[in-house]
Chains A and B, each alone.
Chain A
Amino acid sequence: MATVAIHLLPDDVVLQGRPGEPILDTLRRSGYSHRFGCRRGGCGVCRIDLVEGTTHDNAVVADTVLTPADRAAGVRLSCRAVPDGDVTLRVREDDRLHCVSPILARYVARRSLT
């Protein structure tokens, strides 16, 4: 199965995303998390910034939640954004990537770039 590399800044963690898998699902499957809310694109809490690569949403996200200006500035919702290929994303300053389950992080998908 072809996977994509999801490179998360500033912690420099790389996770392996499955085809069609939203970024938040990859994180959770891999033992990681960041701030999220409804998981269905309605609350806008799981904002994350796209630095490199492209994504598409796996369902409609309302313009009131993510404005065209937000999108143009690279803002994505991790619960809806699916990487088109390898991507680099930056977790926001008021948010953080955290390891919820070290055993999953160790056995599922983690490798550091450094």
Chain B
Amino acid sequence: MQSWIPLVPDSASTFSWKVDALYFYLSGVTLFFTLLISAVLIFFVIRYRRRTPYEIPRPIAGSHKLETLWTIIPFLIAMTMFAWGARLYFEQYKPPQNAIEVYVVGKQWMWKLQHATGQREINELHVPVGRKIKLIMTSEDVIHDFFVPAFRTKTDVVPGRYTTLWFEATKPGKYHLFCAEYCGMNHSGMTGSVIVMEPREFDNWLSGNTGSTTPTVAGQQLFQTLGCVSCHGANGEGGRGPTLAGLFRREQQLEGGQKVIADEAYIKESITNPQAKIVAGFGPIMPTFQGQVTEDQLIQLIAFIKSLPGGAATPGASPAATPTEGPAPSPAATGSPTRNIR
């Protein structure tokens, strides 16, 4: 690497410079106040050193004016940091529309990734430059954390839940991927690389790595072999079980009056623990598939269910245009960023 000591890591995503700018602002304020306090301290310590052993200085009671001043000024400065940080955070955790989706499963101590087009990777992620990438992540065992310093973003990968992380790479290259949440014996070995490529190179890489079926197709096969079809229909049109076509991101009316948005975590729960939430009008007749399907297979089933067209939903891997999603987002929208798809 460089012979000089860098102060910031590689900048390779659209967040990088934004986080760096806030970091430099915070560093500037920190340096200013640390130097100010130190300089005043040193000056006082020298200027007002004890000159004779028994001297007693004149007491000073205090000053409300000064107290007010040094309460309000730091507060206002802190609020600028708060507002700036919060605004950027919303951007970091607002999953974009029309992103390339990649499924990530963390396990002790490796990263398993699968592209929507079927390519599988271990501890490596190939992405094209200039495209929004959205990772849908879960863990097979303990909590992990997907951390790419060059992208200035990370998210915990939590068992039993699906979390998302998105970024848009801006510079081709090979960047560190770290697990940032302590996960046991080989935690420091749970590392890898994110390889950012020019779009054409990426297309070449994709076409050179075919062979595995896409998660959607694999999910469809599972849907058959596990016997889901007998109640939910071959294309999720429903029967003894609720309709699955067009289910994703739709509001589901539950037995007992509750409502739930059908996201990844809900679909997973309905497979592994079907009694937890019963759709209104249906009986608790579905057996649990806990232990019979792996996290990978769950992701494939979810991918298949997400792909089922129905109602107003647009078919395909992009659930972007479903009505519940609301209007298309603008970068400034303070809409509802959710990174925890429950």
A binds B: no
A: which residues have CB within 8 A of B? Answer: none
B: which residues have CB within 8 A of A? Answer: none
